[in-house]
Chain A
Amino acid sequence: MCFQCGTCTAGCPSGRRTSYRVRKLMRLAQLGQKDEIVGSEELWECSTCYTCVERCPRAVPIVDIIVALRNIAVSEKHIYDNHKKTAQNLYKLGHTVPNNDKIKALRKDLGLPENPPTVMANKKAMDEVVTLLKASGFDKIVE
């Protein structure tokens, strides 16, 4: 369990550039201060670089905790527009970014198919991904 030594915050590259403090976030989570956490910008300022996890003397799975806290925030509709767009891309395309004409032309020049041989090239496969995402509640995130 976290004993608030602050090793995480000391090595955090985001904390060096923003008001994000890993130690504070871990303390708020321990104290169950959900409302203070789920609406905060800081929750989304972690780049998941794992420096804190590597150095934590108590082996606290900090990134896993941040992911769990973010899941709670998103389930309560705290999501940034650009994040929602990424989620919508996954739901629509099976990928986080779309293809475009310039890339298609370059792929062709390189002797590759215009669309990669992924869900992008097979509607049935894409339908499978949508089924999984929908059954696990992802449709509520993208709507």
Chain B
Amino acid sequence: MAKYAFFLGCIAPLRYPGVEKSTRVVCEKLGIELVDLEDASCCPAPGVIKSFSKESWLAAAARNLALAERQGLPIVTICNGCYGSLFEAAHELNHHPDVLAKANKYLELIGMKYNGTTKVYHFAEVLYREVGAEKIKSMVAKPLEYGVATFYGCHFLKPSDIKKLDDPENPHILDDLVEATGAKSLPRKQKTLCCGAGGGLKAAFGDVAKEFTKTNLENIKASGAQFIVDVCPFCHLQFDSVQGELGYKIPVLHLSQLYGIAFGMDEKELGLSAHITPVEL
């Protein structure tokens, strides 16, 4: 059975705990064992914390990677931000001995050491590559008849030269994963346009971030989608929280929640009450 250190991050457990719960249930059903990465911190966030101090970002990320190394497990994340930070930190630390030595100078202060062996995966990547669409199809209790808009976000696939998961301009992984449930992924304009929240933009210039989201919502509405399906709690938060004031009400589901529905999870366990834009299944 595949086994991973489950990295929670911030927005999923502290704003949308239903995403955390759905991930736990879905993974169990798929035979993926999740071991909590206890004592982990924020990844730390790639757009904000890394922008303030790359040195602090790398030190804290190295600690998270070292915790997983101690468990002897690869990390799985349910957030593009966590994936971006931890994947990129691991990429630097695992391939550059000088960077690793520098990080270990900090870790020494807390009696820890990182040897540069932890691998980092995204939840959707594990589903696509390790579980596969065929097994997922066989687990679907009741095929979903939704038309949905898939939302990849930015840091799942990009920068593609190191992530090597899919074509960043014309991706298909998430569409395939969604369609394995019976739902239909509907085509739309500017499918890979950023939600607007990343890079500290939401915090510093929220109105600019909303302009990104608005264009996305216009395109999603024109596609006729009933739901937005994302793989990042921060994109999820952005779409969920700002669309009311922009005059839209297209409910947002994290991929784990869509799978929860398809696998017959009790609706109460999806944590939909945390959503600002009401979700009716």
Which of A's residues lie within 8 Å of B, judged by CB?
Answer: 13-14, 17-18, 41, 44-51, 53-54, 63, 66-68, 70-71, 74, 79-80, 82-83, 85-87, 90, 94-99, 102-103, 106-107, 109-112, 116-119, 121-122, 125-126, 128-129, 131-133, 135-138, 141
Contact = CB atoms under 8 A, between A and B. Distances in A.
Contacts of B193: 13
A104 B109 CA distance: 33
A90 B205 contact: no
Contacts of A70: 51-52
- Top 6 nearest A-B pairs by Cβ distance? A48-B199, A125-B39, A49-B194, A50-B158, A116-B13, A82-B203
8 contacts: A51-B158, A74-B51, A90-B45, A94-B42, A95-B14, A110-B17, A110-B271, A136-B106
Interface stretch (B56-64, B128-136, B176-184, B220-228): B56-64
B59 A135 contact: yes
A48 B154 contact: yes
B197 interface: yes
A103 B14 contact: yes
Contacts of B20: 110, 112, 116
Interface stretch (B70-78, B117-125, B206-214, B245-253): B206-214
A137 B53 contact: yes
A95 B41 contact: yes
A103 B203 contact: no
B8 interface: yes
Contacts of A51: 158, 192, 194
A44 B45 CA distance: 15
